[in-house]
Amino acid sequence: MSKITFDPDEQILAELSPARRSMFFPVLRLLLWTGLFWMGIGALDQYMATQFLDAPTVEACMWLRRGLLVAWLLVCWRRCVRHLVFRARSRMLLTDRRLITATGHLRSRIGQIPLANVVDCRAHRGDVAVYVAGARVPLVLHSVPYTRKFERLLKSQIKSVGPGNYSWEL
């Protein structure tokens, strides 16, 4: 997270990554796709082992097997592994002055919200909704570990920082 700079007197209160339980379904999908593709590859290998095939048919079966392997790699990357890697790289940082979120993508997007602009926050299950002044919808942080504890910490920081200087006049 070298894109983020901190003031020397800024204190980091919490650094969180998404909860491990949020990785359950991508891992389950990975196991499912692996099982399906390798059953197909095993059936193709069984067919090639039991049948008396000529050279062009064997070559065609081998190309089909290679194609299934490449398709398996692409599907597993696209549907499962990519989500696991990005989820493991995403971060939520709470300092005494701002809330920082970073997506886990290759070109990670950094979002910074000064705590003076945060009006309220609410936790529901594994998500924390952060209400920002001037925004129509809340910023929702998904799969936050220790949701209630993070909510209490954020609310205490909002109270200690106080409201920002809002100019509602046109």
Which helix (H) or strand (E) covers residue 91, if one does?
Answer: strand 91-95
Question: What pLDDT shows up at residue 53?
Answer: 84
Per DSSP, 170 falls in state -
Residue found by looking up tokens 């939520």 in the block: 92
pLDDT at residue 84 in the model: 87
| pLDDT score of 166 | 56
Strands 118-124, 139-141: pairing is: unpaired
The CA-atom distances, in angstroms, between 16 and each of 5, 62, 153 are 17, 47, 13
What pTM value is reported for the model?
A: 0.71
What CA–CA distance (Å, rounded) separates 159 from 11? 17
- Among 95, 101, 142, which residue's Cα sits nearest to residue 123? 142
Q: Please report which residue ranges of the chain form alpha helices under DSSP H.
A: 24-50, 55-76, 82-89, 147-161
| Alpha-carbon torsion (117, 102, 142, 95), positive or negative | negative
- List the alpha helices (DSSP H) in 77-146: 82-89
Instruction: Please give the chain's pLDDT, 170 residues, in tens.
Output: 457 888 889 899 999 988 888 888 999 999 999 999 999 999 999 998 888 888 889 899 999 999 999 999 999 999 999 888 888 888 899 999 999 998 887 778 888 999 999 999 999 988 999 999 989 999 999 888 899 999 999 999 998 877 665 555 54
Helix 55-76 / helix 24-50 crossing angle, nearest 10 deg: 180
- For residue 134, give both structure tokens: 């001037």
Longest Cα–Cα distance of the chain, Å, equals 85
**Euclidean distance between CA atoms 34 and 20, whole angstroms:** 21
